Amino acid sequence: MSATFEPNIVAFLCNWCSYAGADLAGTSRERYPANLQIIRVMCSGRVNPLYVMNALQQGADGVLVSGCHPGDCHYMEGNYYARRRLGMLKDLMEFIGVDPRRFHMSWVSASEGHKWKEVVEKTVEDAREAGPFEGFRRRQIDW
Amino acid sequence: MTEKPKVGVYVCHCGINISSTVDVDAVSEYAQKLPNVEVARTYSYMCSDPGQVLIKNDIRELGLNRVVVASCSPRMHEPTFRKAIKEAGVNPFFLEMANIREQCSWVHEEIEEGTAKAKKLVGAAVAKARLLEALESKEVDAEPAALVIGAGIAGIQASLDIADAGFKVYLVEKTPSVGGRMAQLDKTFPTLDCSACILTPKMVDCASHPNIELLSYSEVEEITGFIGNFDVKVRKKARYVDFDKCTGCGDCAAACRVKDRFPSEFDQGMGKRSAIYLPFPQAVPAKYTIDAENCLFLSKGKCGKNPKCQEVCGAEAINFEQQDEMVEFKVGAVIVATGFDTFDASRKPEYGYADYPNVITGMEMERLVSASGPTGGKVKIFNGKEEIEPKEIAFIKCVGSRDKSVGNEYCSRVCCMYVAKQAHLLRDKMPDANIRVYYMDVRAFGKGFEEFYDRVRRENVRYIRGNPSEIFKRGDKLVVKVEDTLTATPLEDEVDLVVLGVGLEPRADMREVMDLLRLSQSPDRFFLEAHPKLRPVDTATEGVFLAGCCQGPKDIPDTVAQAKGAASSAMIPLARGKVTIGAQVASVNEATCRGCSFCVSICPYTAIEMVTVNRFGHEVEVARVNEALCKGCGSCSAACLSDSIQPKSFRDRQILPQIAALGVLK
């Protein structure tokens, strides 16, 4: 692993809190690393755990899922489902030998632009430490 | 999907907002080479009229059937571009946006990294756009009625406007009377209108308006449904007084065995009330309420031989058997006008509010100077030995505002002016008193504010710049320890009375309302509006609007203006009689659904039911989505064992290509 390794990170953000928080980070001109790309979903509860595995398989070195704070879900309880499912997934990933630093969950509200910046920095830093992900056999899927 | 996707990609410069950190031409050239992309262009402002015309012309001339706009956040301009492509004959849901401004150019500095990331984001958007589906928005009827929560001046004004327009309003107030904080105020700055004189007519109006159903001493327990069709459950708390029989004569309160024993909420605890009470003389409705916690009969089961109130009530209105009552109704829109709490001054222990009776808050001063207050408007204090009229009076501003140590970074916007007003009222009553105001800054920003502040200064009220560090007792005086920061002079100022200009805080019970309506908080903890500038009365929950101080501190004119704004926004669905419901709902592939009903148990909106269908000659159970109830969150989909239930526009087959595009295999 070289000192300048730049990890590639895919992030799933809920439309109502974290995606809006990431927008606010932009409006507030926060600065954070460009290693992370966002996919918008309506709710963190929509994030099928397979998406996380799929992202790693498709060439991501790290994955982040971010939603509303527990109790604040726009859809009442979607983030509770996310927390359960993805918590289990994290355990499973560790079990099969994927560095837990590659997968993060966070709760960022629509007003937490600065927190979003910190979450990105932490996610990127952890994935950088974990190094390039070579754990899964790559599979090119032509959609 | 029959037709081959033909994608147009439009990369916006946004002036230099995007183009300074993203090489838009390079992004466009990159996009041009992506599969199914017919054309890729850049333009200075895609959202402008010429920008939209550019897209529409391409649709017509090149036969595009998918459009990708790489610009700002879809939360900003998605509706704009959906409308534009619809006008050119393309289904509005064949649009995908790449957020290369808020989530790219504005957060990165180097043009290389900005450009590389923008290419990826555009690639992902194209990958998704190719697999989008046409959707139709549906319209459903909207209930021509509104719910207003909170009957302070904001709630009252919003209710009156909506009711005057001819719609039914349910106005729910937690306390026994409408009026809120404004009813407690003496005069209002800067015009010195008597608060009660301008408020009480509105209070009476909202109680007597044929279109307003006032539910006082009631709390909203549950709100379900969506814009146009909210189902509301309200608990009418037992007053133990028959609402229809009570004449408001007050004989009961005068006869109460625990007469004038409990601190009056309305008088900020400075006056006393009985266990059966009217909060204040002008209360609306003028109906008495028994405070069950303090009533001897209700708390101890015994009040002499017979409860006195029952004995004296000529109308036979006292009813100890009364129970809470649940009321249910349907509304099309909701206005939240739940107001604020004043800052609890004991959280600044250095000011001794909890220790010294002659350190009072601004709200207490309001009651003290009010003719309807506990002293009848006479400013008298007890200095430990005798009752005196205070001669030396100090105001301290910004108590609990602009103060990170108590977690309130914001300015409360009203304290500068209410302190000036109270200084003026005291000067009026006591021409010889020495009045000074300790301040950090004077913010006299509103209409007539600066003129009023100037007038108060000319009335010999001294403004001293300094933030007091401590208040302590010396003999029968209070000492304000402070540095005059304009002359760099430390002072120990001996005074009789200190008035703390306490700020405004979000209500301690706001969580209940947040949970009812899925509202969010801004960093100052007040309710978050949908957009700070362009949607200041809307919330992220469609059909729910904010009015007054629950959204942030404001004075009465601003509160009234916002209430009128919220009322007019709330009336849009009511007047139209119809609302458009989201097209991006879940749908079930009945051919593969295995009928496990996991989705049914997960759906927070009970939008999924099991139905029996005939599949290849067999009767099988499958899930079916009620599109009017589904909000498209997709939680069901992540749990589906056979990937059969999928939210439209966020299907697996639409998200997985995005992942593949972003992963970019090495």
> Looking at residues B492-519, what average pLDDT do you find?
95
Q: Does B631 reach chain A within 8 Å, measured CB to CB?
A: yes
In this prediction, residue B264 carries a pLDDT of 96
Q: Which ipTM value was assigned to this complex?
A: 0.95
Which of B107, B653, B666 lies nearest to residue A32, judging by beta carbons? B107
Q: How confident is the model at residue B605 (pLDDT cuts 50, 70, 90)?
A: confident
Chain A residues lying within 8 Å of B75, measured CB to CB: 15, 19-20, 23
Question: How far apart (Å, rounded) are the C-alpha atoms in residues B153 and B339?
Answer: 9
Cβ contact B553:B503 at 8 Å: yes
Q: Please indicate whether, in this complex, the C-beta atoms of B652 and A48 are within 8 angstroms of each other.
A: yes
Confidence of residue A142 (pLDDT cuts 50, 70, 90): low
B84 in Cβ contact with B56 (< 8 Å): yes
For A47, residues 6+ apart whose C-beta sits below 8 A from its C-beta are A12, A41, A65, A82, A85, A86, B638
A46 near B CB under 8 A:
yes
d(CA B661, CA B120): 7
Cis peptide upstream of residue B190 (ω within 30 degrees of 0): yes
Contact between chains at A74 and B518 (C-beta distance less than 8 A): yes
pLDDT bin (cut points 50, 70, 90) of residue A143 is low
Q: Do A48 and B522 touch (CB under 8 A)?
A: no
The pair of three-digit structure tokens given for residue B43, joined into one six-digit string: 């333009």
Q: Tokens for B530?
A: 């949908």
Per CB-CB distance under 8 Å, the chain B contacts of A140 are: 665
Tell if the CB–CB gap between B633 and A29 is shorter than 8 Å: no
Between CA B567 and CA B575, with CA B571 as vertex, the angle to 5 degrees is 160
Tell me if chain B has a CB within 8 Å of the CB of A140. yes
CB-based contact A81 B121, cutoff 8 Å: no
Chain A residues whose CB is inside 8 A of the B634 CB are 41-43, 45-46, 78
A1 — pLDDT class (breaks 50, 70, 90): very low
Shortest Cα distance, chain A CAs vs residue B185, angstroms: 33
Tell me which residues of chain B, numbers 520 to 539, contact chain A at a CB-CB cutoff of 8 Å.
520-523, 528
Domain A9-130 coded CATH 1.10.10: no
B114 reaches A (C-beta below 8 A): yes
Q: Where are the domains of chain A?
A: 9-130
Average pLDDT on B623-652 reads 94
Give mean pLDDT, residues A85-107. Answer: 95
- Chain A residues with CB-CB distance to B650 below 8 A: 41-42, 46
Percent of chain B with pLDDT over 90: 94
pLDDT, residue B105, reads 97
Q: Helix count (H) and strand count (E) of chain A?
A: 4, 4
Interface probe for A, chosen from B659, B664, B665, B666 (most Cβ of A below 10 Å), is: B659
Residue A140: the pLDDT is: 63
- Give the pLDDT band (50/70/90) at residue A137: confident
CA distances to A38, A112, B74, B114, B503 from B102, in Å? 11, 14, 10, 12, 34
Please state, in angstroms and rounded to a whole number, the distance separating the CA atoms of residues B441 and A95.
59
Structure tokens at B235: 């608990």
Give B663→chain A minimum CA distance, Å.
4
**Comparing B92-96, B385-389, B426-430, B501-505, which segment has the lowest mean pLDDT?**
B385-389
Tens digits of residue pLDDT in B207-252: 999 999 999 999 999 999 889 999 999 999 999 999 999 999 999 9
Closest CB to A60 among B110, B520, B663: B663
What would the pLDDT profile of B343-402 be if each residue is shown by its tens digit?
A: 999 999 999 999 999 999 999 999 999 999 999 999 999 988 899 999 999 999 999 999
Q: Check: CB of residue B13 under 8 Å from CB of residue B43.
A: yes
Q: What is the pLDDT of residue B628?
A: 83
**Gap between the Cα atoms of B431 and A77, Å rounded:** 61
Cβ-defined contact of B635 to A34 (cutoff 8 Å): no
CA distance A23 to A74: 17
Cα-based distances in Å from B657 to A51, A77, B70, B120, B661: 11, 27, 18, 12, 6
B39 has a pLDDT exceeding 80: yes
For A43, name the nearest residue in chain B, comparing CA atoms only.
Answer: B633
Give the mean model confidence (pLDDT) for residues A3-27: 94
Backbone phi and psi for residue B143, each to the nearest 5 degrees, phi listed first: -70, 125
Does residue B35 have a cis bond before it (omega within 30 degrees)? no
Please list the residues that pair with B546 across neighbouring strands. Answer: B336
Residues 69-108 of A with CB under 8 A from B: 71-78, 81-82, 85
How deeply is B91 buried, as exposed, middle or buried, from its count of CB atoms within 10 A (0-12, 13-18, 19+)?
A: middle
Structure-token pair, residue B346: 């004991």
* A55 contacts B662? CB cut-off 8 A: yes
pLDDT tens digit string along B407-454?
999 999 999 999 999 999 999 999 999 999 999 999 999 999 999 999
| Contact criterion met (CB < 8 Å) for A109 and B541 | no
Contact state of A39 with B634 under an 8 Å Cβ cutoff: no
A3 phi and psi angles, rounded to 5 deg = -70, -20
Q: Edge to edge, what strands does the sheet with B7-12 contain?
A: B37-43, B7-12, B66-71, B95-99
DSSP of B78-136: HHHHHHHHHHTTS-TTSEEEEE-IIIIITT---HHHHHHHHHHHHHHHHHHHTT-----
* Neighbouring-strand partners of residue B624: B609
List % helix, strand, coil for chain A (3-state, nearest 5).
45, 15, 40
Helix (H, G, I), strand (E, B) or coil at B5: coil
pLDDT at B664 (0 to 100): 73
Domains of chain B: 7-136 (3.40.50), 145-236+326-339+509-577 (3.50.50.60), 251-312 (no CATH), 341-505 (3.50.50.60), 586-647 (3.30.70.20)
CB contact under 8 A, A22 and B103: yes
pLDDT recorded at residue B269: 93
Mean pLDDT, residues A121-125 taken together: 97
- pLDDT of residue B1 exceeding 60, the answer is no
* CA-to-CA separations, B566 to B156, B420, B531, B541, in angstroms, rounded: 12, 30, 14, 14
The pLDDT value given to residue A10: 97
CA dihedral A102→A107→A109→A114, nearest 10 degrees, is -50
**Which chain A residue is nearest to residue B109, measuring alpha carbons?**
A31
CB B376 within 8 A of CB B416: no
Vertex B173 angle, CA B171 and B176, to 5°: 130
Most A CBs within 10 Å: which of B95, B132, B519, B633, as the mutation test of the A interface?
Answer: B633
Q: What is the pLDDT of residue A88?
A: 95
CB contact under 8 A, B520 and A59: no
Q: Does B510 touch chain A (CB under 8 A)?
A: no
In chain A, residues with a C-beta closer than 8 Å to the C-beta of B637 are: 46, 48
CA distances in angstroms from B418 to B372, B431, B444, listed in the order given = 18, 19, 11
Structure tokens at B213: 């159903």
In chain A, which residues have their Cβ closer than 8 Å to the Cβ of B657? 143
Contact B307, B320 (CB under 8 A): yes
Whether B653 has a pLDDT exceeding 80, the answer reads: yes
Separation CA B636–CA B597 (nearest Å): 10
Angle, CA of B259, B264 and B267, to the nearest 5° = 135
Interfacial B residues in 17-76 facing A (CB < 8 Å): 73-76
Interface contact A54-B659, CB threshold 8 A: yes
Q: Is the pLDDT of residue B113 over 90?
A: yes
**pLDDT band at residue B644 under the 50/70/90 scheme:** very high
Residue B659: band (very low, low, confident or very high) from pLDDT cuts 50, 70, 90: very high
Phi, psi of B404 (to 5 degrees): -65, -25
Torsion over CA: A53, A58, A64, A67 (sign): negative
Task: Indicate if the pLDDT at residue A4 is higher than 90.
Answer: no
Looking at the partner chain, which of A23, A57, A75 has a beta carbon nearest the beta carbon of B635?
A: A75
The reply to whether residue A48 touches residue B638, judged by beta carbons under 8 angstroms, is yes
pLDDT at position B491 is: 96
Q: Which amino acid is at B278?
A: L
